[in-house]
Structure 1
Amino acid sequence: MAKGEEPGNRLFLSIVVRRKLLCSYLLLAFGAVQAHESTELSAVEVRARAENMEGIAASGSEGIVSSQRLAAVPMLRPGEALEMVPGLIVTQHAGDGKANQYFLRGFNLDHGTDFATYVGGVPVNMPTHAHGQGYTDLNFLIPELVERIAYRKGPYFPEEGDFSSAGAAHFDYFRTMDSNLAQMTLGQNGYARTLLAGSPAVGDGHLLYGLELFHNDGPWQIDEHYKKLNGLLRYSRGERNNGWSLTGMAYQGKWTSTDQLAQRAIDSGLADRYGNLDASTGGKTYRYSLSGEWAKRWDGAQSRANVWLLESGLDLWSNFTYCTHGCPDGDQFKQAERRVAGGFNASHEIYSKWGGLDVVNAFGLQTRVDRLRPVGLYSTKDRETLATVREDRVTQRSVGLWGQNELRWTDWFRSIQGLRADAYDFAVDSSLSANSGQASDHMVTPKLSLIFGPWRSTELYFNYGHGFHSNDARGATISVDPASGDPLARVKPLVRTRGMEIGLRTEIAKKWQSTAALWQLETASELLFVGDAGTTEASRPSRRYGVEWSNLYTPTDWLAFDVDLNWSQVRFRDSAPEGDHIPGAVTTTANVGMTVDHIGPWFGAVRWRYFGPRPLVEDNSVRSKASSLTNLRIGYRHTPKLSLALDVYNLFDSKMNDIEYWYESRLPGEGANVADRHLHPTEPRSLRLTLTYRY
């Protein structure tokens, strides 16, 4: 098929104005190309087609990650799939069974606050979570079954609500696979993973299934013994834009963790770099969900709806400060919750003309209810409960309405204007009656995008919008500190953000796609990590601005390069004696990769990630170290059905840190608290060998 004859290109030329519908048609076309030309095109070629957003995007910082790109990248953990979002860094500060740490656009997003994530239409972020607001645990993700990741950055999109100020990512699983899949991976430190997946035809549809068994001890002196059982079933008929699906997901995990260590404990020999000062920290978790998606393509309209139900739980034992409350009991604490949540999302788009101008009008409704029975914080020793700090029963409800108008004024200019309204209601029944109560809040957030072009494969964007994140419901009703009894001020249930962006999308040269964005984001209240509690608390207002530059170059049908460079400046907006730097706010990141495919039977990839230094205290007197990490994959296809791949993580065995904090702790034998650097090391070089059979 010649380039000018691609279905996506023909469709683009005929109905470029219908941005959202066009995007879906293009993706279906690319899927068809992948299915029918897989023997002719390499993954590099298919990837380049699928990720070209010219004429589709509303900003310079949104895009689509194809399944080919995701499959080509060696990933240490499932959550690292989010590193395919340009500028996003994924790390870990404790056991691998808990949610990762995320960094984007100058945010230490903690475990997910200000970045919204969805898998199969089901939200992953957990409000009023036991361990952190917006907790995003992606350990249930099966990367091999992901068809695409659609991502956006900034608060410019009416469809995106809570937690999406820095950005949002939507993982879509396949409806059908080209072939069944049996995969086994073995590695160092007790690593073993098996995956069975397929999508046989059943009746008029297909039944996608995936079953994952996982075990890993890690490089730690005390084996992590992380065990995971993970499964997916999806029955679907039709297509993403004109069909329906029913999806069930189930995940269970348990582990022993190595929490971050005080630097002085390592320097003194009290603990090894990969050691632990509390051998009983760790956790267990589960997540079960059922969701349904429906889409209908009408004459001049597109309708979508999805409904979801989720049950999840977590028991997490941590010890970040060791003996500040005195040993031998120590500072171990347990954060636990049992949650049932459900929601509904519906939207409708109408394609018409106003005075001869092409127009798309869209509107939608989103609802969510979370019930926690209970969510608690407990003092523990060796995972045995000593005392209840607080235990709450929480009900949180939200509803969001949004509308959007997209108007093409000329062949080279279109505008998208939208408005979103959200209302939240919290009810907290606390073990401390003074902290019980109800709270509610609402917020209206305008959005505007102006798109100029395309001219010679170049588009310019201007984006402005307001967004928000919700605060923990317990903070909205609190009156006294549950540990000390001191009075505390309540936080606002909803915190406004305001962002703007100037973007560019272009083809600098043949087969070289490039995007750039100059952005700014202001937040009315920052959420900061509190080391001794393992949670976040509301802080001062902040301002962030920065520059992003992302590139994809495919000089041949077997070679691709991608380069993502990001710089940001982050400060509190008000003055305070302690300083105006925001702890954990990263300034510079980079992600550079090379992918090769169809060099005879060989394929592979190499990726380099740079994670710049961050201030650890407000006056910037203590800073984290930068880290540089390289991962490598080398693969060989013995037959079209059978392949073998070797992944090497931390290729140069660099001794770096995944995360660093600065706070006070007390080691056994110390007579007072000591402020110190606390770190979780990057894992040393490790190898994994994967055998894949497709049938």
Structure 2
Amino acid sequence: MKFLLFQAMLICVGLNVALGQGVVSGTIVDSKNQPLPDVSISIQSLNKGTTSDGLGRFSLHNIPPGTYDVSVTSLGYGAQQKSVIVTETPVIIKISLEQGELMLADVVITDQLNKQINTISQVDIKLRPVNTSQDILRMVPGLFIAQHAGGGKSEQIFLRGFDIDHGTDINLEVDGLPVNMVSHAHGQGYSDLHFLIPELIGKVDFNKGPYTADKGNFTTAGYASFYTKNVLDQNMVKVEGGRFGTLRNVNAINIFNSSEGVWQKNLYVASEYFRTDGYFEANQNFNRLNLNAKYNAYRDDKEALSIGISTFNSRWDASGQVPVRAIKDGSIARFGSIDPTEGGETSRTNAWIKYTNTQDNGGVFENQLSFSKYDFYLVSNFTFFLNDPINGDQITQSESRNIYSYRGSYTRSTNLGSKILQSELGAGFRYDDVNDIHLYHTKSRKQFLDDVARGDVDETNLFAYVNETLTLSDKLSLNAAVRLDHFTFNYVDALTPLYNRQSVSKAVVSPKLNVSYDLSQSVNLFAKTGIGFHSNDTRVVVAQNGNEILPSAFGADIGANFKVGNKLVVSTALWMLDLEQEFVYVGDEGIVEPSGETQRRGLDVSMRYQALPWLYVDTDVNVTNPKAKGAPEGEDHIPLAPTFTSIGGLSVKFQNGFSGSLRYRYLGDRAANEDNSVVAEGYFLMDAVLKYTRKSFEVSFAAENILDEEWNEAQFDTESRLENEVDPVSEIHFTPGTPFFFKAGITFFF
């Protein structure tokens, strides 16, 4: 009781101190009257600053009476300054920003705990060209991808010393929709982003490590959230064509964009068709179709409603991974195949609705309800004739699932004298209804031989979190959060003679603690700590009776974001991440294998530099030391874990309409097995883009691997046996990377 009275006295004292202080608040919108988040608003004479939220709103508190200039800056928009007279009565302003030149001088280094979008990603979305669906993931600094099954399969992902496979240790979302697939037929966390049309991306948010409470399952190495535009800048029709029978068409049209009373409403539709024969000897026959529609309604800074519908289908043939020995002895050419009947087909249909409402007390309710219908069919052959010397080892994996999800949150800021407490409460669920998840032995893609595993999965994730951010001063902020996730795993094995529903429940608690300190107007220091996790496949959970099935990741980052002058922006971090022992379901074999404890230590550096008004330089360098705990020295390598990566390039933007970029990707050699006796070779590649843009049209030319390097994309140390071999051989199996490729396109705006 005495403690509560003491706290009340402190608050009263703080409130008395704040008497006579003013508030400047308002809303930032663009030229289409759409709210702009993460705009920097500052009163430089007082060294006070903040950023706008998802509804474009901002508040500057504890302003002494007087006349001040409020500066408003945002990347890609013209900066504005507004003079205000502050009294004890709150000052409310509304500012509309017009699109302008990309100037790194407009980047403001502020408290990163309250920003909705990472500073570096704001620069990259304006700077880096996105030409393919693969480029979408490359927007995350330090993230590398590899494709190894004909272009239609989800990419293999590498980040922070993790071979993430198809998404086990990175949380991916699009407009709040979960992308990672739990208990997937091919692999846990499987993430296929091919349903996202690159031209529709409006912003990208990412964070490395398990430090954010609103991100749950799979958030160990980090997360990436992609958001489509609320309204198109203009209507467009794009046609592209290139080598290897490549053709792409994108259409995006605003159906309406109007104001009715206080409501701003708009609707657009978009489509993408892509096809290619591929560069392999066997025709890839890859076809993909995307359809998308999005409706938005916005009322001042009070309410916002978004509705999205999309559908996607792709099918392809694949040449698969090939062993080095088959190329060396001339059995096949570099772009040949051992089993050319591999391939697949997948589809996904999404529908979601999101409603945001502001209360009279300033609190914000946000609710989103989502549904996805997903089908998957994949044919692979990794070992050729190792297990079945007569028919071969081809496998087929398939499933059909419905995903139902809801997430809600309530956020409110409270003044505690000179301090500000921002509180966020969140809760939700995700339910995966997976029918006929199937692994079976096939021949030539058509002939069924025998079942390996088959059943039905029901998996439910209930979650809740509390997130508190206390701004102690204009320089120092603290964030403390805790998240609770509860899982229920159900599996019915279709290959057993009697019906038996196996069910296991488990919960995990994930605390976070983060600190941000603005050393100056140009330097922000931060320290982040937290625990994250990824769930295991339901078939692992029931096999292990719930033991070691929610492995935790323990992470810590310490670093800085800073500007040097008005032209250079740098982000650095020293980090560590330890992952607990777990058991993993191997979807390609239908077995459970142990995976030991691991530790990773690393350094990330990202730099964005505007050398001239029209010339930009960017680079990301990532160094990691990944080790398996408890293994003997020299035998503690983590297979395929990257140790050194770098991405960067030069970009130019001229006022006469010409723009272009020259970009590189470097991945260093890395161990392919535990003792590093087998090495996955690294590579250095260069790509280029050139565009000429006018008001009504744009002409583009893009080239990949302009040096025409022979490089190995996906690589694995695999034991296999060819049809004419007596004994199996263990060596590198790989998918050859894209040779020199170019495409040209024309886009019409109207």
Q: TM-score, normalised by structure 2?
A: 0.85
Say which of 425, 430, 436 aligns to 2:493.
430
Mapping for residues 291-440 of structure 1, pairs under 5 Å: 291-298=352-359, 299-383=361-445, 384-433=447-496, 437-440=502-505
| CA offset digits 1:165-209 (Å, max 9, x no partner) | 111111111111121010001001010000110223266511121
Aligned to 1:469: 534
Residue type at the aligned position of 1:217: D
Deviation at 1:157, TM superposition (A): 0.7
Measured against aligned partners, the alpha-carbon deviations of 1:292-314 in whole angstroms (never above 9, x if no partner) come to 11112344322211110011011
1:592: which partner in 2?
648
Give the conservation status (yes or no) of the 8 Å contact 1:66–1:147: no
* Counterpart residue identity of residue 338, structure 2: L
Structure 1 residue 548, shift from structure 2 partner: 0.4
Residue of 548, 564, 583 corresponding to 2:620? 564
Q: Does the CA contact (< 8 Å) of 1:61 and 1:153 recur in 2?
A: no
Letter in 1 for 2:276: N
56-65 or 332-341: bigger deviation:
56-65
Q: Per the alignment, do residues 532 and 339 of structure 1 end up closer, same or farther by CA in structure 2, a change over 3 Å counting?
A: closer
1:94-153 Cα offsets, whole Å, 9 max, x none, are 210010011000000100111011111101000000111000111111110000001111
Q: Which has the higher contact order (CA 8 A, sep 6+)?
A: 1
1:534 and 1:511 mapped to 2: Cα distance?
A: 54
Query: 1:484 maps to which residue?
Result: none
Aligned-partner SS, 1:477 = helix
CA-based RMSD: 2.8
Query: Which residue of 2 is the match for residue 271 of structure 1?
Result: 332
- Residues 1:72 and 1:155: Cα distance change in structure 2 (over 3 Å): closer
Alignment correspondent of 1:80: 135
Cα distance change of structure 1 residues 231 and 660 upon mapping to structure 2, 3 Å threshold: same
The residue identity in structure 2 corresponding to 1:368 is R
Letter in 2 for 1:502: I
Q: Contact 1:140/1:230 (CA < 8 Å) preserved in 2?
A: yes
Matched, 1:175 2:230: yes
- What aligned pairs does 1:235-274 form with structure 2 within 5 A after superposition? 235-238=295-298, 242-274=303-335
What percent of counterpart residues are identical?
Answer: 29
Q: Which structure: larger Rg?
A: 2
CA–CA distance in structure 2, aligned partners of residues 569 and 359 of structure 1: 38
Specify the alignment match of 2:216 in structure 1: 161
Task: After TM superposition, give the deviation of residue 385 of structure 1 in Å.
Answer: 1.6
- SS of 1:21's equivalent in the other structure is coil
1:7 to 1:573, Cα distance in 2 relative to 1, 3 A: closer
Q: Which residue of the partner structure matches residue 184 of structure 2? A: 129
Of 202, 211, 233, 2:293 maps to 233
Residues in 2 aligned to 1:447 and 1:277: alpha-carbon distance in whole angstroms: 49
SS in 2 for 1:10: strand
Q: How many residues align?
A: 674
Q: Provide closer, same or farther for how the CA distance between residues 536 and 229 of structure 1 changes in structure 2, counting only shifts above 3 A.
A: farther
2:689 aligned partner, one-letter code: R
Residues 477-522 of structure 1: per-residue CA shift (max 9 Å, x gap)? 127xxxxxxxxx8763311111001010000232211010000000
Q: Distance in 2 between matches of 1:68 and 1:503?
A: 20
Which moves more between the two structures, 346-355 or 62-71?
62-71
TM-score (norm 1): 0.91
- After superposition, the C-alpha distances for 1:308-335 in whole angstroms (9 at most, x for unaligned) are 0011011100001100123441000001
Q: 1:283 to 1:60 in 2, by over 3 A?
A: same
CA distance 1:60–1:141, change in 2 (3 Å): closer
1:571-590 map, 5 Å:
571-575=627-631, 579-590=635-646
Match of 1:443? Answer: 508
Moved more, 320-329 or 508-517: 320-329
Question: Pick from 432, 453, 458: which aligns with 2:518?
Answer: 453
Report the CA distance between 1:72 and its aligned residue: 4.3
> CA 1:28–1:420 in 2, change beyond 3 Å: closer, same or farther?
farther
Unaligned runs of 5+ in 2: 1-36, 59-71, 80-95
Describe the superposition over 1:14-56 as per-residue Cα deviations: whole angstroms up to 9, x where unpaired.
Answer: 9968667389558996687599644xx33x33x774x655334
Instruction: Please say if residues 522 and 562 of structure 2, whose CA atoms lie closer than 8 Å, have aligned partners that are also in contact.
Output: yes
Decide whether the 8 Å contact of 1:332 with 1:379 is kept in 2: yes
Contact 2:439 2:590 in 1 (8 A): no
Equivalent AA in structure 2 for residue 381 of structure 1: K
Corresponding residue number in structure 1 for 2:350: 289
Q: Which amino acid aligns with 2:228?
A: Y
Taking a change above 3 Å as real, the CA distance of residues 82 and 522 of structure 1, as seen in their structure-2 partners, is: same
Write out per-residue CA displacement over residues 510-562 of structure 1, whole angstroms, 9 at most, x where no aligned residue. 22110100000000036889696499954001000100000111233322111
Tell whether the 8 Å contact from 1:19 to 1:57 is kept in structure 2 after alignment: no
Q: Give the whole-Å Cα distance in 2 for the aligned partners of 1:225 and 1:548.
A: 39
- Report Cα offsets for 1:263-288 as digits up to 9, x if no partner: 10111111211111112100000000
The 1:24–1:492 alpha-carbon spacing in structure 2 relative to 1, beyond 3 Å, is: farther
CA contact (8 A) 2:213 2:465 kept: yes
- Partner Cα distance (1:539, 1:69) in 2: 37
Partner residue in 1 for 2:703: 648
- Which of 245, 250, 265 aligns to 1:190? It is 245
